[in-house]
Structure 1
Amino acid sequence: MPRRFHAVIFDLDGVLADSEPWWNEIDATLLAEYSVTYRGEYHRNVLGVSYRLAVEFYKNAFSLSVPTEEMMQRRGEIAVRFFAHRIGLFPSAKPVLEELRHMNLRLAVTTSSVSASARPFLGRHELSPLFDLIITGDEVEHGKPHPEIYLRASEKLGVPPEACLVVEDSLSGVAAAKAAQMRVAAIPDRRFVDPRNYEKEANYVVSDLNEIPSLIRNIG
């Protein structure tokens, strides 16, 4: 029988924050500064990866000779504006988090987004008090799909990886969690990806965040 869960670790973008539709506009704004017209054609390639990997992908795709650090900084600055004024919360996010707290589970957020956008967003939606731990992409050396952010969460929560459930929407995030020896519930955003691509990668594939509490109860 699988070990019961003691902690749930959430990605932010596309899981709690309905931000994935906006990342195309964020990146279009960024790339326009370098005279590139972008219409979201590479959304799947950068879905869920670290800022560094996303920027390096764009530099290669559009033959840009721009310092990576410069583009990463600008991407973060643009994202801060979007998270502050445009990006909303999925309706089921707060009720699900409150239910999981009542189940005495430890909760964390591990996101590729930078602290300057992620933390104010969580605070504005009154989610911060529900989490025991928040780790952002600029607080780790290696971003997803590297497992560092999940291993650090496990260590800081004091919960072994095999007792952690990760909730992710991207294949890069799923890969990071699996590399950390954690079980993963994937919530593919059908607007952008084919859920069938997740069936062999994630332990569980669900259609909505509100399925997570019952999934955990069924494990025991």
Structure 2
Amino acid sequence: MDTIHIPVKTQYLILFDFDETYFPHECLPEQLERVYELERYMNKLTFSHQVKTAWITGSSMKQIQLKMKMAGMTQLPHYIASNLGTDLWELCSDGTWTAIPSWQKKIQRSGFSRGDVEDLIAELKHTYNIVLHEQTQFGQSGYKMNYYYYEASSVKTQYDLSVIKHLASCAGIGININQCNPKAGDPEDAYDVDFIPLGTGKKLRFSF
């Protein structure tokens, strides 16, 4: 893995969504050629225009490393906001990663509690008959808890998702809900339901 040039002074910061935007899960030859072309171009911009790059992704650092290896990618970004922006990393000149302290403090002050999420999951099941399935194949990060919601009828699905969002809001828990992408290893006819600290997530990480 190559360590990309780190400009002394940053003129521009370019942020990329990682999965299915920067990294194509199918890894077809024509897709990978475009990835390599993008890598070369971004590396050139770091020298000519003092550009830094960042990836914002729901993946963990370990998953990112595996995907880069699978695709034969060689250029690291300057920042990675992993686990839906609940973890924020900065690239060092020796190719290692360091957590950004100000973001870590923000996360720690959020009051995010695994127990609160588990209580919410139980309430959904016993009071509303809404069952969320833990994403055990990816594990759970310290500040992100991942579940699947399997689609029912269109009306029930929309009702269930609105209940999940409402209860999370009442509990002071951040939430991210997206339709699953089977190309990324997710099941079909399901939604990703991610519980995260308030004030995090891809959009708020971008603002930070």
TM-score tier after normalising by the smaller chain length: under 0.3
Instruction: Kindly name which structure, 1 or 2, has the bigger radius of gyration based on alpha carbons.
Output: 2
Structure with higher RCO (Cα < 8 A, 6+ apart) = 1
Instruction: Give the TM-score of the pair, scaled to structure 2.
Output: 0.28
Higher strand share: 2
Q: TM-score, normalised by structure 1?
A: 0.27
